Copies of this chain bind each other. A is one copy, B any other.
Amino acid sequence: MTRPPLPAALPESDRTRHRRLREQGSLDRADLDAILDAGFICHLGVVVEGRPLVVPTVYGRDEGQLFVHGSVASRSLAGAAPVCVTVTHVDGLVLARSVFEHGVNYRSAMIHAVPRKVTDPAEKLEGLRRLTEHATPGQWDYARRPSRKELAATTLLALSLEEASVKIRTGAPDDGDGPDAELGLWAGTLPLAAVWGTPVPDPALAPDIAAPAHVVRRKGTRHG
C-alpha cells in the first residue's frame, strides 16, 4: 500500500495543542519518529462504557501507521472507537532546589486515531513483520513465521500517525537563576536508562543451540 508521505510538521488540533509551559511541546514529525522508534511498549487508551481503560501493549510501525495487536482491550476495539496511544521514555529525575520545581526528563508521544482492523492477509503479515522487527530486529527472519491459522487468529490494528503530538523535557532544573539558587542546595538531574541484559535460554532448550547474533549483540546496549 503506497501512501503519500506525512507532512514534516505535526498538525495542531484541539487534542494535540500544547497547554503546559514546563514541557517542551514539539510539532516536528522527526521527534515523533525518534520516540516511536526508540521504544516498543505503548499505553493504549480506550473508552469502555464511558470509562477510560489504559492497557500496555507492544507496537510496530511503518511510515504512516502504528500497528498493535487487537487482542488488547478487544471488547472495546470491536467498533470504530477512537483510541489514544502514548509512548513514554523516562530519562531521569529533575531535582530542583525547591520541591515545587521538581520534575522529570522524558520524551513522550501521543497519537490519536480510530483503529482500522487489518483484514488483508498480506497486509496483516507485513504488519506483524513490522511489529516483530520493531521489538527484536532480525527475529522475523529467524523465528517460525505465522501459519495461515495463526494469522487468522491474530487481530491486527492499524492506527494512522497523522494526528500526534510530542512532549520532551531535557536538561537542568528551572530554578537556577531564582532566589532559591542562594539556598546552597544541590540541584541537577539523576539520569535513568534502560539497558538490555544477557539473553536467558529457555530451560527447555537443547544446550547446543546458541542464541542468534541479532539477540546477543543487544546485550549492554541502551533501550529507549
Contact bitstring A172-213, B, C-beta under 8 A = 1, else 0: 110011001101111111111111111111111110011110
Is the CB of A118 closer than 8 A to any CB of chain B? no
Contact bitstring A55-83, B, C-beta under 8 A = 1, else 0: 11010000000000001000100000011
> What distance in Å separates the Cβ of A211 from its nearest Cβ neighbour in chain B?
5
Chain B residues lying within 8 Å of A144, measured Cβ to Cβ, are: 97-99, 180, 183, 185
Contact among B100, B188, B202 with A176 in the assembled complex (CB-CB below 8 Å): B202
Q: Could you tell me the distance between the alpha carbons of A91 and B37 in the complex, rounded to whole angstroms?
A: 19
Given contacts A55-B86, A198-B191, contact A95 B45 (CB under 8 A): no
Contact among B56, B139, B185 with A143 in the assembled complex (CB-CB below 8 Å): B185
Is the CB of A3 closer than 8 A to any CB of chain B? no
Contact among B85, B93, B136, B143 with A135 in the assembled complex (CB-CB below 8 Å): B93
Q: Could you tell me the distance between the alpha carbons of A75 and B20 in the complex, rounded to whole angstroms?
A: 11
Of residues A20, A139, A198, which shows the largest number of chain B Cβ atoms within 10 Å of its Cβ? Answer: A139
Q: Could you tell me the distance between the alpha carbons of A58 and B58 in the complex, rounded to whole angstroms?
A: 22
Q: What copy number does this chain have within its complex? A: 2
Is the CB of A121 closer than 8 A to any CB of chain B? no
Is the CB of A29 closer than 8 A to any CB of chain B? no
Chain B residues lying within 8 Å of A20, measured Cβ to Cβ, are: 71
Given contacts A82-B51, A185-B209, A188-B211, contact A143 B195 (CB under 8 A): no
A51 touches B186 (CB 8 A): no
Q: Could you tell me the distance between the alpha carbons of A96 and B136 in the complex, rounded to whole angstroms?
A: 12
6 smallest beta-carbon distances between A and B, as pairs: A176-B204, A191-B197, A45-B52, A45-B54, A43-B43, A54-B86
Can you sample 21 A-B contacts with CB below 8 Å? Answer: A41-B90, A41-B104, A47-B47, A54-B85, A95-B215, A98-B150, A102-B132, A136-B190, A144-B185, A176-B202, A177-B204, A181-B204, A184-B206, A186-B212, A187-B201, A187-B205, A190-B199, A191-B200, A193-B194, A193-B195, A193-B197
